[in-house]
């Protein structure tokens, strides 16, 4: 039997170190952007590729069901990568680079928010949608890893993981979702930011 314990410990020690160095001011600003969009009845569009696509889908679930189940005023998250038929039709007939931007055309309102998730920060289809959103007067939140790439440069709000490791970046991106779900649940359902109970 192989002994993986040292490798396991090393992985999580690296992850803990990255978490300890997150920019909490930037994350706080990003969370306020989400909260303000919710308060202003805006729609939050979210998307990503690969593992980031599953994070985007999970985020939609946690806000639209996980929190919204318990409050009268619902979150309005829309995951642009969840409709496989639409995504594949755009990719096949137009371009894979257009799969997210195309879905936003003539749908955005000033109170909306666009969230792009990209480990490298350079996913062309995410960038195209982010740039289009800004052209329509909609703010952009970039969730990134590595050095943040172009998405971090142009984003109005940032949740950045400064680590050159896609697995750790994606791990922490997922914790952003669960952390926000917990905090917003405590705020909106329990009216207590220090609450620890989440059904």
Q: What is the rounded distance in angstroms from the CA atom of residue 132 to the CA atom of residue 143?
A: 17
Answer whether residue 182 is part of any domain: yes
Q: What is the rounded distance in angstroms from the CA atom of residue 77 to the CA atom of residue 170?
A: 20
Q: Which tens digit of pLDDT belongs to each residue from 123-174?
A: 999 999 999 999 999 999 999 999 999 999 999 999 999 999 999 999 999 9
**CATH number for position 87:** 3.40.50.10490
Q: What is the rounded distance in angstroms from the CA atom of residue 54 to the CA atom of residue 82?
A: 9
CA gyration radius, the chain = 17
For the cut 60, the answer to whether the pLDDT of residue 199 exceeds it is no
Answer whether residue 197 is part of any domain: no
Q: What is the pLDDT of residue 195?
A: 59
What range does the domain containing 25 cover?
5-188
Query: How do 113-118 and 77-79 pair as beta strands?
Result: unpaired
Q: Which tens digit of pLDDT belongs to each residue from 78-133?
A: 999 999 999 999 999 999 999 999 999 999 999 999 999 999 999 999 999 999 99
Does the model's pTM come out above 0.85?
Answer: yes
The total number of structural domains that make up the chain = 1
CB-CB contact of 34 with 45 (8 Å): no
Answer whether residue 195 is part of any domain: no
Answer whether residue 194 is part of any domain: no
Q: What is the rounded distance in angstroms from the CA atom of residue 124 to the CA atom of residue 87?
A: 15
């Amino acid at each position: 039997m192989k002994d993986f314990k040292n490798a396991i410990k090393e992985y999580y020690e690296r992850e803990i170190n990255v978490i300890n160095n997150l920019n909490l001011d930037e994350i706080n600003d990003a969370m306020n952007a989400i909260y303000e969009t919710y308060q202003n009845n805006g729609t939050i569009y979210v998307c990503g590729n690969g593992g980031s696509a599953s994070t985007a889908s999970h985020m939609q679930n946690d806000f639209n069901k996980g929190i919204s189940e318990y409050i009268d005023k619902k979150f309005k998250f829309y995951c642009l990568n969840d409709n496989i038929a639409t995504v594949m039709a755009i990719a096949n007939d137009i371009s894979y680079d257009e799969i997210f931007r195309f879905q936003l055309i003539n749908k955005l309102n000033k109170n909306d928010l666009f969230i792009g998730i990209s480990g490298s920060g350079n996913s062309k289809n995410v960038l195209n949608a982010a740039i289009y959103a800004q052209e329509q007067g909609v703010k952009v939140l970039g969730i990134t890893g590595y050095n943040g790439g172009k998405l971090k440069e142009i984003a109005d709000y940032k949740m950045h993981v400064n680590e050159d490791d896609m697995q750790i970046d994606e791990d922490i991106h997922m914790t952003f979702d669960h952390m926000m779900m917990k905090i917003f649940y405590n705020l909106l359902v329990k009216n207590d930011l220090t609450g620890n109970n989440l059904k």
